[in-house]
Amino acid sequence: MIISLLCAFYLSSTPLFAGADHRHEEKHSTHTSKNTNTFNIGEMIMHHISDAHQIHFLTLNEHKENEKHLAINLPILLWDNGFQFFSSKHLYHHPYHQHHLDAHGFKHEDYIMADEKIFKANEHGELNLNEDGSIASSNIVPMDLSMTKSGLGFVLSGLLVLLIFSSVAKREKENKGKAPSGIQSFMEPLILLVRDQIVIPSMGEKRAKRFLPFLLSVFFIIWLANLLGLVPFIGGFNIMGTMGVTIVLATLVFIITTIKGNKHYWMHILWPSGVPTFVKFILVPIEILGIFIKPVVLMIRLTANITAGHIIILAFTGLVIMMGQNSQIAGFGTGIGATLFMIFMFAIELLVAFLQAYVFTLLASLYFADATQEGHH
C-alpha cells in the first residue's frame, strides 16, 4: 500500500501535475526588490512555501562576488520528442536575461526555466513574451516529469513509514506474548488510535479490515510529511502544502469511495427513497455534485491549513528582519516578542501536523463507511 502511494505521489509531485510556479533562490535568497536592498517579506515567504527543482539550504557570502548557494540539485526529466535528462544545476548556474521578461530565468541548451516552469526556446533562442513582459501562451512547454523538492520530501516520508512499519512488524514477531519495547512501544498506541478511535467507530470492525491498510498508510505519511516540514535547515519542505500532492490524496479517496460504493449508496444518490418525485429532480443533482465536492474539500482543507501555519511563522520571522533593518534596538525588542510567539506557534504546528493527519483519515473513513453501508431492512 505504501509503495503504491509513493508511485502515485511521485507523479503528483512533478510540475506536470503540481503546476509549479515559483521563484529561484537567486531572487529569494536575497529577498530584495529589483532596484533596492529593501527586505521583501512576501518574496521570502513565497520562496519558503513554494516547490522547486532543488533543495536550498543556505547562501554563503551573500551580495558578494563569491556568493555561493549550498543546495541539492534535483534531476530534470522532460519529454520533448524523446526523454531529456539533466541536472537542475545546469539551469540554476546559467542565469538567463531577456529584455522585458518579467521573471527570473535560467537557460540550458534549448530550455529556459522562468519561475520554476520550463519552456522550450523559440528559433531565436528566446521566449515569446506579451507586451507587459509576461510569458506568452504560445511558448512550447515540454512535459515536465522532474522530481521536485516536495516529491523528494514525500518519498522520504513514505520510505520512513515503510522502514518504521517493517521494524514494528519484526519486533512484533520477536516479542510475541511480551510487552512491546523500542519503537514498537511508540508506534502501537498510534496504530491502535487510528484503528480503535477512527476506523472501527466509523464503519465497524468487519468493514474496517478492508480499509485499514490504506488509512494507516495515509495517516502516517501525512503526519511524518508535516513533521518533516517543521525541521529547520533542511530545505524548507512544504509537502502537504503542495496542491499536486493533496490532489492525488483526495483523488485516491474519491476512487476508492466510488469503486467500493454499494447499491444502497448509489440508490441513495441517484434515486433517494422517501422523497417526493419533484424534490428528487432538485436533490439528485446536489447529491451528484457532492460526490466531487467532498475530495475537493479534503484537498483544500489540508493544503490551506498546513500552508497557513508556515506563513504565520515566516511572517513573524520577516517582521524581526524588517524591524532590524530600520533600527537595531527595535529589531532586538521585536525579536524577543516574535521569538516567543514563534515558539508558541511552532508548538501549535506540531499539534496541527498530527491533527491534520487525524482529520483527513477520519473524513476518509467516514466517506468509505457511507459508501459501504448496508440499507436498512
Q: What cell was used for 330?
A: 527595535
Res 235: pLDDT: 64
Res 295: pLDDT: 92
Q: What pLDDT, in 10s, does the model give residues 149-187? A: 888 888 888 899 999 989 888 888 887 878 887 888 889
Same domain, 174 and 106: no
88-92: average pLDDT: 86
Same domain, 268 and 142: no
Same domain, 217 and 258: yes
- Which of 130, 147, 164 terminates a domain? The answer is 147
Per-residue confidence at 18, pLDDT binned at 50, 70, 90? very low
Give CA–CA dist 188/195, Å, rounded: 10
- Which of 147, 169, 184 terminates a domain? The answer is 147
Q: Which domain holds residue 81?
A: 21-147
Q: What pLDDT, in 10s, does the model give residues 273-316? A: 888 888 889 999 999 999 999 999 999 999 888 888 778 877 87
More confident residue, 98 or 142: 142
User: Using an 8 Å Cβ cutoff, are 240 and 225 in contact?
Assistant: yes
- Which of 105, 122, 147 terminates a domain? The answer is 147
End-to-end C-alpha distance for the chain, whole angstroms: 35
> At which residue does the C-alpha cell 519503537 appear?
183
Domain membership of residue 14 (yes or no) is no
pLDDT mean across residues, the chain: 81
Domain membership of residue 377 (yes or no) is no
Per-residue confidence at 346, pLDDT binned at 50, 70, 90? confident
Same domain, 109 and 124: yes
Contacts of 252 (CB under 8 A, 6+ apart): 5, 8, 214
Same domain, 301 and 245: yes
Kindly report the pTM of this predicted structure.
Answer: 0.78
Res 8: pLDDT: 47
Same domain, 192 and 286: yes
Centroid of chain to Cα 262:
32
Domain membership of residue 280 (yes or no) is yes
Same domain, 179 and 270: yes
Q: What cell was used for 320?
A: 524581526
Same domain, 174 and 297: yes
Domain membership of residue 1 (yes or no) is no
Same domain, 139 and 225: no
Sort strands 95-96 and 105-108 into parallel, antiparallel or unpaired. antiparallel
Same domain, 266 and 190: yes
Question: What is the tally of structural domains in the chain?
Answer: 2
More confident residue, 69 or 227: 227
Domain membership of residue 115 (yes or no) is yes
Domain membership of residue 3 (yes or no) is no
Same domain, 109 and 174: no
Res 33: pLDDT: 41
Res 25: pLDDT: 38
Same domain, 198 and 344: yes
Per-residue confidence at 137, pLDDT binned at 50, 70, 90? confident
Res 15: pLDDT: 56
112-126: average pLDDT: 87
